[in-house]
Each structure stands twice: as structure tokens, then as C-alpha cells.
Structure 1
Amino acid sequence: MTARDLQVNADERGHLVEIFREDWELYDPDPAMSYYSMSYPGVVRAWHRHDRGQIDHFVCPTGRIKVAIYDDRESSPTRGELDTFVIGEHNQRVVRIPGDCWHGFKTIGDDSALLINFPTNLYDYDDPDEERLPPDTDEIPYDWDETLQG
């Protein structure tokens, strides 16, 4: 799980933010597609993971989301660890998520949020690469209503 701050180029007209560049090592391998989803305030979209080597890259250009990633991979040195990131219009970052880690996000604040993902695998409509758990599962030590400290 890694994150990269995105440069916000702002002037009196607004701002421009690069969210993908082929020369960023963060996007290795290159994305196969991109999509965006809009979520209303307080919505939790979790938990899921991928078993076919997909890596996700989350960017939130508007609104704010709290991303949580839980590593339960047996051979991983970070097994049992949970990372959280708050990203959005006032904290422009891209979060790289190993697809075989459980992950999800919650829209925080009073506004809807847009999430853009750059996955490394194409979505397979006939055989989706998704394993799911409910947001309140006992298998992951995380409470989506928990307030971040710091």
C-alpha cells in the first residue's frame, strides 16, 4: 500500500491535477482501464479484493473519502496490518492498492465524492474478479464509523 501526493496547479481560473503519468513507478504495471464512481455522503463501499493480480489506483478529485486496506495475505510481511488514507479535493493523492488485499472506502463529510480508479486488469463482465465481504464483517478489524486521529 503506497500513496503519492498529486501536484495541484492552481491559479485564478481553477486548478489542474495530473492523476496518471506513465513515468510514475506507482503505475507499474500500467492500468488496463479507468472508471469513476459517485458516492453519496456516508456511503461505505467495502469490502472486496481481487485474486487475479489486479492492482487498483484510487484518486478522489471531488469530495472526500476514507480508504481502508487490510492485508490478510498469508505470505505477506504486513499480514494483519490495516492502513487508512483520507483523500479528496483538499488532499490530492493517488493510493496504490494490491488487489489481493481487502479494501474499500467511505464517503466522509457533507458532500458526495467521486472516486476514479485505474485498475491494471480489464473488468470481466462474465466472470468478475471480486470476492466480497460486508462492511461490518468480523473478519476485518475495522469500524467504518471510527474517527481518524491526527
Structure 2
Amino acid sequence: MIVTPTRIPGVHVVEMAAHADTRGHFARTYCREVFAQHAIAFEPMQCNLSFNPQRGTLRGLHYQDAPYPDAKLVRCTRGAIFDVVLDLRHGSPSHGEWLGFDLSEQNGRALFVPEGCAHGFQTLTPDTELFYMMGAAYRPELARGVRWDDPAFAIAWPIASPLLSERDATYPDHRP
């Protein structure tokens, strides 16, 4: 595994180091010891799958509030996405900043999103699937979100007219 930090503290790109032979390839997608070497404390508590049949589907930006904030490791296992992490941690040097990453079945990259950051993605191909490893169990009463087009963050999504849930389309403007 190759773990690369980004300019937002705690956010890491995780790439597989595949071992290939005539049968195909094998790669580790998560290792607690490797994460610890990069000062990432992450113990998966739940795994989720998101399937999206339409190109342009946008899910997010979601996070889980205290006392059970959720870190996550997100990998696109089919298709391709534009994946976004938004730093909402008060006191963080990158508070209010966002980063976008292309994740796909071809590049095999994953994104580690720490607690206190919102996460969302937009599908770039039809029939896209994501696999999430979550650091906390989902608690609907703590589910929060930031609207995808909130002017406070000006996220540059690749597809201008996304397919959204009513909940994701109607989050109020964020107040820093």
C-alpha cells in the first residue's frame, strides 16, 4: 500500500501495490499497521456499498456529528467518480477547504476521510459502485450534511446538473 498525505491534514490517498502474475493480481486495500505508520488511527466498524446507475449522480456532502463522528475509507470498485472531502474541523489550518480526487476501478485509489470532514462524490460513468469502510456505525440522528453547491465552499463539480436526493439538495447554507 502507498499512503500519501494531502494538503488537508488527515486526508490521505491510498493506492494499492498490486502483486501480479499470470492469474491476475492481489493487493492489500487496508492494513492497520500501515495506517499506524502514517499516524492514521482507523478501526473499521461498518462497511457500506453504494451503487449508482446514472452518470452525474451526486451523493453528499455527508458527515456524522459528535459524539460518534465517522472517518471513512472510500474506494470506487466499478466505474469512476469525482470524490470530494471538505474540512469542517474548527481549529484546523485547512478549515473550509475542499479537495477533489478522481477514483476509479482503473486507478484503484482510495481516499481516507478523517472525522470532522464532510464527504461527497459525483459519478462520472453509469453503473458506478463504491465500497466504504466506516470508523463508526451509522446513527441517523447524528447524520449531517453540507449542500453540494453551497457558495461558502464553491466546489467545482465536473457535471453541472447532478441527480440529487431531496435531502442533499436542500441542506441550508453552511455557517462557518
Instruction: Identify whether the pair has TM-score above 0.5, normalized to the shorter chain.
Output: yes
Aligned positions of 1:107-122 closer than 5 A: 107-109=123-125, 111-122=126-137
**Of the candidates 144, 155, 159, which is equivalent to residue 131 of structure 1?**
144
Amino acid at match of 2:27: V
Q: Which moves more between the two structures, 26-35 or 42-51?
A: 26-35
1:4-57 Cα offsets, whole Å, 9 max, x none, are 111234444444332222322166231111111111321111111222331111
Name the residue aligned to 2:122: 106
Name the residue aligned to 1:45: 59
1:57-99 Cα offsets, whole Å, 9 max, x none, are 1011211111111213220011232111111111112211023
> More relative contact order in 1 or in 2 (CA 8 Å, sep 6+)?
1
TM-score by length of 1: 0.82
Q: Which moves more between the two structures, 28-37 or 16-25?
A: 16-25
TM-score by length of 2: 0.71
In 2 relative to 1, CA 101–18 (structure 1 residues): closer, same or farther, beyond 3 Å?
same
Q: Does 1:94 align with 2:114?
A: no
Q: Partners in 1 of 2:21 and 2:127 — Cα distance? A: 25
Aligned residues: 144
- Identity, in percent, stands at 24
Alpha-carbon contact 1:59-1:92 (below 8 Å) kept: yes
In 2 relative to 1, CA 9–62 (structure 1 residues): closer, same or farther, beyond 3 Å?
farther
**Of the candidates 70, 93, 116, which is equivalent to residue 54 of structure 1?**
70
Alpha-carbon contact 1:8-1:92 (below 8 Å) kept: no
Aligned Cα RMSD in Å? 2.2
Alpha-carbon contact 1:8-1:17 (below 8 Å) kept: yes
Q: Partners in 2 of 1:128 and 1:19 — Cα distance? A: 30
Name the residue aligned to 1:71: 87
Q: Partners in 2 of 1:36 and 1:96 — Cα distance? A: 16
In structure 1, the gaps of 5 or more residues are none
Whichever structure has more helix as a proportion of its residues is 2
Alpha-carbon contact 2:56-2:123 (below 8 Å) kept: yes
Q: Partners in 1 of 2:64 and 2:14 — Cα distance? A: 22
